[in-house]
Each structure stands twice: as structure tokens, then as C-alpha cells.
Amino acid sequence: MIELSDEKVLYAFDRTLEPALTVASGETVRIRTKDCFGNQVQKPTDELDEIDWNHINPATGPIYVEGAVAGGALKVSIDAIEFDGQTASCTGEGEGVCGDRFNAWSTHLCAIDGDELVWDDALRIPLNPMIGVIGVAPAGDAVNCGTPGSHGGNMDNTAITTGATLYFPVSVEGALFGCGDMHAAMGDGEISVSGAEAAGWATVTLTALPELSLPDPVIENATHWGVIASAESLDAAADRAVHEMVDLICDRTGRPADEVVMLLSLVADVQVCQMVDPEKTVRFMVPKYVLDVLGFSL
């Protein structure tokens, strides 16, 4: 297995970046990632007003995947997520959903103990590992790692965890994949503007799918298929995700749209990923037991 250190990071997904690593299609890579603060918050006395805000939300990479071509897709299988022993969370003035309540930054550090996050002496939270920033280079201008879009980016999606597989639309040769901003726990919505931010290792398998064309990322896990969409509002993101999933099912199965829409209204779920970034992110998840009967395959 190849390992990639966090010495080479990107702060924007950008088609002009030089690869930190080149791999064959189907290669598995163990990637060292910094937390969203660039590992700048390590003790209670570390003030957010004093960190370098030009070095937040780093993603390790980019990784050039041989065989990935513009107009195709990149398959990313998440094989493992490992954390260091501590996390940091924050909120502050103008940040997140409740930023109107505060006039200063607040931070909270937690230890990781086995499969639990130690909030304080009385409360322990089960770990909910996920990768917050993950994606490929966009076709046009660079997109900072704090902003999600069709290329992926800061989707902050709790479904992006061990055992999940993502399919990204590729816009540039080699895809230029990167990931970072891992969370040991986070609720859907990420209302404070952070999860339990943690450094660690992400192990992924990267496979070029040059014949697959997608407008937005698609996610697959053991029980569901889904479309992930980002837009200026949650309403717009949900509308986009639903429409794209309907189109995908109709295209792959030949079923009429009215039948598919009525069926999805009974079995599928619109789920909020995050509502605090410059673009909001939603996933629309459809059970595999339904899609299997319809004859769906990507």
C-alpha cells in the first residue's frame, strides 16, 4: 500500500496544481490528513483569532489517477478512517446557525478513548467517523477547500465514512483527488460550523471510470444509493439532488418518471449534510432493495 504524508496539501481544488502523487487506477492509498485548523489548535490556550486563516481546511494531495479523463468519473472507496487522540470543535460570532448569539470564538477539545469521544467527565459520545473535505479538481476556476460543489469539496456528509463509495465527475486528466477535514463525530447539519475535528489517516482506493458521466457526486453504501448536491440554499440543493436521482434511475432502468417519483416519495430520504458553508449540501438516499427490483446499476 502507498502512503502519502500531509507535507503536501492543497487549500483549493485546482486544475493547475502539480500532483503530490501519481497512482495507477485501482491503487489503494493511505493518506495522512491534518484537521480543519491545519493542526493549529492543540491546547486550550490556542486562540482561533491567532491562527493563520490562510491555512485552514487543508486537503492532502492532489493525487493524479492514471486513466481518469475529463467527462468520466473517479470511484473512491473509503476503506478505513483512523484518528489521532484529540479533537477540536468551535463556534463563534457570525459562524454556523447560531452565530448571531456570540461575539467571540469558543473552542472545545476532546480526547478520543477507544470508540468514544470524551466530551467531559459526565458525557461520552460514540465515534461517527467521516471525511469532511473530499473531491477532485473542478473544470473552471479553483474552488477553496471550504466550499462544496459538483467536484466534491467541503460536503461535510456523515455518510462519507468507512465502507462508502463515492463517484465524482472528473473534469481534468488524472482527476487530481484530495481529502482532509476528518471528523470523529458530527451531526447532520454541522450547526456550529465544525464537527469534532481530527487529524489522522484515510485509506482509499481510487479507480478511474472513463465511461461513466455524472453531473454531481454519487454515493453508495451497503444499503443505499444517493446523489449529493450543493447549492446556495438547502431548498435548491435538495431540488437538485432529487431531480438528478430521478434522472439517473429513469436512465438506468427505463421506468417512466411519474412512476419513479411516486415510488421515491414512499421510500427515499432527503438528508441534510451541512447548512453552514458558502454552499449548502444535501444528499438524497434511495434504498438498494427498491433499486435492485427496478434493475438499477450505475
Residue 226 has pLDDT above 90, yes or no: yes
**CATH superfamily ID and name for 2-10+19-209:** Acetamidase/Formamidase-like domains (2.60.120.580)
d(CA 227, CA 284): 5
Report the chain's mean pLDDT, rounded to a whole number.
97
Alpha carbon separation from 222 to 12, 162, 187, 213 (Å, rounded): 31, 11, 20, 22
Residue 45 has pLDDT above 90, yes or no: no
242-269 pLDDT, tens digit each: 999 999 999 999 999 999 999 999 999 9
Mean pLDDT throughout 57-81? 98
If one counts every other C-beta atom within 10 angstroms of the C-beta of residue 186, the result is: 24
Report pLDDT for 234.
Answer: 98
If one counts every other C-beta atom within 10 angstroms of the C-beta of residue 48, the result is: 19
105-117 pLDDT, tens digit each: 999 999 999 999 9
For the domain made up of 218-294, give the CATH fold. Endonuclease I-creI (3.10.28)
d(CA 277, CA 281): 8
75-106 pLDDT, tens digit each: 999 999 999 999 999 999 999 999 999 999 99
Domain boundaries, the chain: 2-10+19-209, 218-294
> At 265, which helix (H) or strand (E)?
helix 257-267
